[in-house]
Structure 1
Amino acid sequence: MPEDLLNSFMSGPDEKGRFGNYGGRFVSETLMPLILRLEAEYERAKTDQRFWDEMHDLWTHYVGRPSPLYHAARLTDRLGGAKIYMKRDELNHTGAHKINNVLGQILLARRMGKERIIAETGAGQHGVATATVCAKFGLKCVVYMGAHDVERQAPNVFRMRLLGAEVVPVTSGRGTLKDAMNDALRDWVTNIRDTFYCIGTVAGPHPYPAMVRDFQSIIGKEVREQMQAAEGRLPDTLIAAIGGGSNAMGLFHPFLDDKDVRIIGVEAGGKGVDDRMEHCASLTGGRPGVLHGNRTYLLQDDDGQILEGFSISAGLDYPGIGPEHAWLKDVGRAEYVSITDREALDAFQLCCEMEGIIPALEPSHALAHVMKIAPDLPSDHLICMNMCGRGDKDIFTVAKALGVEIG
């Protein structure tokens, strides 16, 4: 790995794992030794050239990086205004950005001598990526997935089982990502000797938010180089969908010091951001609290009880957000907006028709916001959105929403 790429992964939160007032480590005493050991191992790995050489080799020859930066010419012409680029991370092996991070965590697990990997998943892409890398290295894999998500993401459930993973349906709560993460944490407490918890987003107790961000930052590093090659300058606006927020942080982080680059995160507005909380827009409609080991913005009632939220997208159906996103919102470096299910479905269909790309429902939210703002921007304005996942996993959900029977 080039020295400048290695150096780009060196920054992080303060010594307490906080991004301003967010982040931290709110866990049981049982988990503290595991988390401290993980933190120490990651600190060693960050400065170990052999670790990054192995990561770079796997990213190149196993994942298929760098993923292309694609000029969406027909969509640009259709919308008018800004020039639209898509970072094609859906072309990665397993069909999403998730494998960028999974490879890093499982290499750490191997360094630590762990032979059993557990993970949580919503849309199933993190579960598929974890099962894939576990199969490659011969590790036992257990994936916790909400029962509701098991039903609406059946293709990914089958893929995980084909890859040798045990998929555990979680029936508590609404049976979505929050509940899957709860059960994964319970498993980790119970099986501390041989188990490594591979978290799929920039949430959880420190060091997970910073560690996952560092692994995903390969996305933004590539965009910097690719946009310079294509246009001779940096993009004017970056846009990415946010559930927990790993694909977005991966795109955003290498640009945080570039003050002229506008950064927009797009949350799941569900049926609309209002008092009924039928959405998962925690930055738009939530307030700070503690969940899954970190302090961040959450959907919660007046008593601090976590609300369920709602989104057509399983990968965005989470009532919280990564703590670094919470900090970026408060300091004003990034903007956060919400997109409804209906708007995301419209963007899904337009992308299929105009570019021959079937997007996942997650980046369809980001594309919907591109569709809102691009027409009012000048033609020399460069927008880069992260196409973080492909949509074959979502065709049954979309068909049902559109009233189409496909068997």
Structure 2
Amino acid sequence: MNRIASSLFFLFALTVAYPSVGQGQPKHLGAKTCAHCHGTADWTRMTHYTIWSATDLHSRAFQVLSNDLSKEIAGWMALPEGQPESWDKCTRCHTPGVAAKNRGPHYALSDGVDCEACHGPAENWFLPHLEFDATHERNVQYGMIDLKDLETRARMCLKCHSGLDHEIVASGHPDLSFELFHFSFWQPPHWDYQEAPPFVFWAVGQTIALEEALGNLNQALTDPTTGKSLHVEVFDNKNCYQCHHKLSYDRWRFVEAHYSAVQPLFKNLVSDRSEAIDREMDEMNSLIDSPDPSSQFELLKKAHETQQEISALLPRIKESVTSRAGDEALIQTLMSDLTLPVPEPANEIDYPEMDIPHAWVVREYEKAEQKYLALKTLGIALEAKDRQMTTGELLKAMEGGELGSESLQSIDDLWQFVDSIYPAGRRKFKPSEFNEVLARVREAVKE
């Protein structure tokens, strides 16, 4: 049986197996179901599955649970040794987290974060999307996740790329950072480069990331699945900076980091509300540092109020950035604001010689990382417009070393500085040195 015939037979078999819209929670059919068309360039000219399975790290998310670091993390969390499939706190993100009763015949844990983890369980939309007159809008009506909508895409990513609880962080799980444009293109894309300009990716993604980070503060002290306290005594003496500050710091620093990136955006696009949000952030910052136990309740109350306000502003921001995606003056203004120096400590401390860095240092590192990600995205947006290239053309040219500009080179220098300290667990981060690199970027942006 040749390839085309076998694929058609497979699709016919699925038609028999899934004749109607399922009841209750739809089933995940498994990545191999998608592969029969989306991994057969020889007759369908579709390579989505091929790209994902060969080069996208999401396809190896479950396999990662068997490496040495994962085993160490599992040990600190007292999870059953050598049984990653039973580690519910891990599999909820390293797999689609599908209950056994909702797994189709081709579902496999080994596929990691598979097609349906992002596009949604396919039982109800699989057959309709095979029809010749199928449209994306109709597929969405049948239950496919609308990832062409950047807000939906960002929220889908942030289900796993934010909100680590204290137990996982204290056990040694690497920190999670998020910026929608980079996350979309760091992995070889199996979608259209031109779904939205880089500026829109960044602005929408960062606003939602801030909103989600504020919401995550509500779960900072409890396990969202059990409601139990996340304070675990075994971690009290672990030689790790995460345990030397309040549990709420674990998530507050991500609020600060994302806000440091979107603050210039709010100032320029929703100026009537930006000062009020600044004050609310300052109030929450003082509550985080307050020794008064009652401050925790006030913090969560204020975080919820601010989250609701940002949610209400999101439609305005989306409309503004979409209509001004090519506004060079706005993008340059944002880049100039983003190159303002980060805070430096009052007393000079030799961070590289410290065994355990202060939480303050780590909080400033998170801000530095988001500044870089923002500057690089906005730099790409300007470069593509100046050279009259599509985003895809520019990214491919940059990857091949075919072009460069002083602005992008300075931003790359910034990343090399940030990246060079990352393997050291952020403990080598010196804000003063970072500000020196920021100053060079600022001069390049002016030219």
What TM-score, normalized by structure 1, do the two folds share? 0.27
**Bigger proportion of residues as helix:** 2
Higher RCO, 1 or 2 (CA under 8 Å, sep at least 6)? 1
**Bigger proportion of residues as strand:** 1
Which structure has the larger Rg?
2
What TM-score, normalized by structure 2, do the two folds share? 0.26
